[in-house]
Amino acid sequence: MMRPKIVVVLAMSADGKISDGSGSPARFGSAADRAHLETQIAQADGVLMGANTLRAYHTSLTLRDPRLLDQRAARDQASQPLHFICSGSGQFEPAWRFFSQPISRGLITTSQGALNAQAYDFDHVLISSTSTDSSEIGWTELWPQFQNLGIHRLAVLGGGELVASLGAIAAIDELWLTVCPCLIGGRAAPTPYDGVGKLLKETQSLELLSHRIEGQEVFLHYRVAHPPANPVVVAPPAAAALDLQLGQSPPQTE
């Protein structure tokens, strides 16, 4: 099955949290982590965030680094990737800056969510209609629409519920985790991979591709090991070239 290559990019506290329990925007990473995030976004045709992440930030990160913008132009990519929000409910606030940012916006939603979101300025609305749970996105039926929109590489920027829903169908290919020097704690605080979780005997294996220490932060890059029966990723030439630049095995110290 053809689907985009999916790369998750998250910053995490040393105790494994991506924010606090009150849904605050996660601004505990350093300037180096922000630059790292921008670099990952620049390599993507699309970015995807869960609705709670948009509810936390009210905005999406746009590319500003002229070097990254030049690299996208050289690859014939639009200056900004398409920014998708995943929301079963389609419930947002019109005042959020996201809706006036100079970007193309996409909504991944259900039939009811699409009705609720009619007033919002989305350029593309991808509706999942075959899921047995009418509030859940059925990702596989949407992959051809990503292909039609030219989305071959998708950067998933959180949060933990969205990541877990993609992980549940083995649709995550790589994971970038920045371990930040702070402790957050709290049972209700989101983690990189929430959802219902897995039993230990079902845990997903990761292969460490690279690790780098910058200042007080550790940048970890993993490949997710997929069993052969899971979807085959079709990467276009640009994404394949990026993989070579990022390096594969053995694990690299950057």
Ligand X SMILES: NC(=O)c1ccc[n+]([C@@H]2O[C@H](COP(=O)([O-])OP(=O)(O)OC[C@H]3O[C@@H](n4cnc5c(N)ncnc54)[C@H](OP(=O)(O)O)[C@@H]3O)[C@@H](O)[C@H]2O)c1
Which spans of this chain sit near ligand X (rule: CB under 6 A)? Answer: 10-11, 18-19, 23-26, 50-53, 56, 86-89, 91, 135-137, 157-162, 165, 190, 194
- For residues 53 and 159, what is the distance between their CA atoms, to the nearest angstrom? 6
Pairing of strands 174-180, 217-224: antiparallel
Choice between 87 and 210, CB closer to ligand X: 87
Listed residue (24, 4, 5) closest to 182, CA to CA: 24
Distance CA 121, CA 107 (A): 10
Minimum CB–partner distance for residue 254 and ligand X (Å): 19
Which position's Cβ is nearest ligand X?
Answer: 159
Identity of the residue, 130 or 201, whose beta carbon is nearer to ligand X in the bound complex: 130
Q: Of 37 and 224, which CB lies nearer to ligand X in the complex structure?
A: 37
CB of 149 to ligand X, least distance (A): 19
Q: Cα–Cα distance between 94 and 105 in angstroms, integer?
A: 14
Q: Kindly report the CA angle at 62 between 58 and 65, in degrees rounded to 5?
A: 145
Given the complex with ligand X, which of 84 and 224 has the nearer CB atom? 84
Minimum distance, C-beta of residue 247 to ligand X, in the bound complex (Å)? 23
| Shortest Å distance, C-beta 106 to ligand X | 14
> Least separation, in Å, of the C-beta of 125 and ligand X?
14
Cβ proximity to ligand X: between 80 and 165 the closer is 165
Nearest approach, Cβ of residue 146 and ligand X (Å): 15
Smallest gap, in angstroms, from Cβ of residue 244 to ligand X? 26
The nearer residue to ligand X, 17 or 153, going by C-beta atoms, is 17
- Angstrom CA distances, 234 to 164, 204, 248, stand at 22, 21, 17
